[in-house]
Structure 1
Amino acid sequence: MNLVTFTADGRQHWGVTAPGGVVALSGRFPQWRSLRDVIAAGGIAQVLETAQGKEASHPDGSFRWDIPVPDPEKIICVGVNFPDRNAEYKDGQDAPPFMSLFPRFARSFTGHGQPLIRPPESPQLDYEGEIAVVIGKGGRRIPRAEALGHIAALTLCNEGTIRDWVRHAKFNVTQGKNWDRSGAMGPWLVPFADPAQIEDIALETRVNGALRQSDRTGRMLFPVAEQIAYISTFTTLVPGDIIVTGTPTGAGARATPPVWLKPGDVVEVRAAGIGALVNGVADE
């Protein structure tokens, strides 16, 4: 079972996956408004135990997938975190000395099965398939050796980007990374219990069935444990915070000529042991 947030009959619920649909559990735990509250309370095990043996309350097709943690305090993204991505910058560095970071806002993501939105201001909507980690145990200056113990769950992210807006400014990419519903996250949270779930798993992105990105987390320039340790040095991580861990080479911007997403395209981000995040594309 995996943890989900979804909307049905005009109301947002959280619960777990079940054969043929999902089980709504938010009504059984009114003290926890969202999965962020479940995580903060250390309630994942209790929720999964409660769900044992229950049939789907909402069958497939009767609900809309939402981003799993709809109200995180922080979403921090790691850039240029695979060797081939680093080589694209042609600056002579085998690896950057420090990781590149930027924030995203929850409003810039949509759920599994919902379209990525291309704005009228630019046709340059691009994809970036990534794995995201959700913090379960908060902390400041978390030692790298203890960092994986602070993860509550894993999910997938399509870190959709408006490329020309990334280049509007000299020192940041924030405005190209935060268009409403330009990216996606989900479909669910996979509870994290074993370092093997993140240390060396396959990640790939396909557009209309064609493989565009493929790599393994074991090749990250800055592994997840290092990301948590470094980020928590300057900001306190709290339960429900999300770290988007980096994308492989192969985004549309690197094609010759560049290939941007357009209405009717279907993007699939898949990672072993986590699942598949699938989204279409639509104009705003």
Structure 2
Amino acid sequence: MKLLRHGPIGAEKPGLLHSDGSIRDLSGVVADIGGAALSDAGIAALRAVDAASLPVVAPGTRLGPCVAGTGKFICIGLNYSDHAAETGASVPPEPIIFMKATSAICGPNDPIIIPRGSVKTDWEVELAVIIGTKAKYVSEDKALDHVAGYAITNDVSERAFQTERSGQWTKGKSCDNFGQIGPWLVTRDEVADPQALAMWLTVNGEKVQNGSTRTMVYGVAHLVSYLTQFMTLHPGDVISTGTPPGVGLGMKPPRYLKPGDVVELGVEGLGQQRQDVIADPT
């Protein structure tokens, strides 16, 4: 099942992608795609709904982030061996964890906003793991039981803010519209193996990232288990699991986004995103 949220910013309604390709409104069935709706029981209840009987959402309606109520937006750094190599970094002996501000979260096709003072805004296609049930001190063999599903994220990054402004990476990762999530949450039963998904990203039609989750250093089950040794994960929390090679930072010479660029990205079975790059209008 592919769950989503549709409508204006801040007023999104729950929905799903019907087998006929239309978007159907779930607001008469569930309050939102978050909280208890992400549990196995909640998803089973949504799966039992006759999608053909639901109201059709008008084509072209904006899609919001596919999950509501995200308390933590957790990112994993240098989690692809080939990406670590392109940046000149060593593969970490344990997962690198950093937080992205939840205020960065936006819809899958909302624009990438170049922040004031930015000279190195970069792209990163990533697999997102969306937590469905509370998880604390979870073993690796039970970790995926706590996953509601998967989505695409673009972990947009301002490299100068990230690495040249002192301190931790968070300041280069948390600008407005630096966290597109969606277009939909694909429930875990539809993803046979999260470690076997092709992923790609283009800038102005040029394919710059072309990778696979096979080259993750630390797989999804390990990451979920690992994180629960340090913090409790709650329904709606998002784990962005790292990016394959092909980011602007790794190019020779480095290449970064500018207003007018168009970024498109996708992960096998999870749909795709499209973003216009604009200057901060504020």
**TM-score, L = length of structure 1:** 0.91
CA distance in 2, matches of 1:236, 1:67: 22
- Measured in 2, the distance between the counterparts of 1:283 and 1:242 equals 27
1:13 & 1:124 partners in 2: Cα distance?
35
- How far apart are the structure 2 equivalents of 1:8 and 1:259? 33
Which residue is equivalent to 1:88?
86
Structure 1 equivalent of residue 12 of structure 2:
12
Partner of 2:27: 26
Equivalent residue runs for 1:108-119 within 5 Å: 108-119=104-115
C-alpha distance in 2 between matches for 1:170 and 1:279: 29
Using the TM superposition, give the Cα deviation of residue 120 of structure 1 relative to its aligned residue in structure 2, in angstroms. Answer: 2.1
Distance 1:7 1:81, change over 3 A: same
- Specify the alignment match of 2:74 in structure 1: 76
- String of CA shifts for 1:26-75, please: whole Å, max 9, x gaps: 2333xx344334114731121132143236521211x2111111321111
CA contact (8 A) 2:71 2:102 kept: no
Paired amino acid for 1:27: G
RMSD: 2.1
Deviation at 1:90? 3.6
Q: Distance in 1 between matches of 2:150 and 2:40?
A: 18
SS in 2 for 1:218: helix
Alignment of 1:20-169 (within 5 A): 21-29=22-30, 32-40=31-39, 42-54=41-53, 56-61=55-60, 63-90=61-88, 93=90, 95-169=91-165
The answer to whether the aligner puts 1:280 opposite 2:276 as a matched pair is: yes
Give, in whole Å, the separation in 2 of the partners of 1:170 and 1:6: 38
CA distance in 1, matches of 2:139, 2:9: 44
Distance change in 2, residues 1:20/1:145 (3 Å): closer
Distance 1:195 1:143, change over 3 A: farther
Q: Is the 1:36–1:69 Cα contact (8 Å) retained in structure 2?
A: no
Deviation at 1:242, TM superposition (A): 0.8
Structure 1, 75-84 or 104-113: larger mean CA deviation: 104-113
* Contact 1:42/1:136 (<8 A) preserved: no
Q: Is the Cα contact below 8 Å between 1:71 and 1:106 reproduced in 2? A: no
Structure 1 CA distance for aligned equivalents of residues 212 and 67 of structure 2? 25
CA distance 1:10–1:70, shift in 2 (3 Å): closer
Amino acid at match of 2:41: G
1:2 corresponding residue in structure 2: 2
Which SS does the other structure have where 1:28 is aligned?
coil
Q: Is the 8 A contact 1:141 1:233 kept in 2?
A: yes
More displaced stretch, 184-193 vs 81-90? 81-90
Question: Could you tell me how far apart the structure 1 residues matched to 2:249 and 2:49 are?
Answer: 46
Distance (Å, rounded) in 2 between the aligned partners of 1:73 and 1:25:
23
Q: Secondary structure at the match of 2:211?
A: strand
Q: Higher strand share goes to which structure?
A: 1
Deviation at 1:5, TM superposition (A): 0.8
Instruction: Give the count of matched residue pairs.
Output: 279
Shift of residue 112 of structure 1? 2.0
Q: What secondary structure is seen at the aligned counterpart in 2 of 1:3?
A: strand
Higher deviation after alignment, 187-196 or 207-216: 187-196
Amino acid at match of 2:210: S
In the alignment, what sits opposite 2:193? 197
Tell me how far apart the structure 2 counterparts of residues 89 and 120 of structure 1 sit (CA, whole Å).
25
The DSSP-based 3-state class of the residue aligned with 1:78 is: strand
Worse-matched range after superposition: 154-163 or 81-90: 81-90
Deviations 1:109-151 (A, max 9, x none): 2212221111122132110000101111222111111112211
Indicate whether 1:236 and 2:237 are aligned.
no
Which residue does 1:174 correspond to in 2? 170
Please state whether the residue corresponding to 1:85 is helix, strand or coil.
helix
For residue 84 of structure 1, what is the amino acid of its counterpart?
D
Query: How far is the alpha carbon of 1:208 from its aligned partner?
Result: 1.5
Aligned mates of 1:273, 1:103 — CA distance in 2: 26
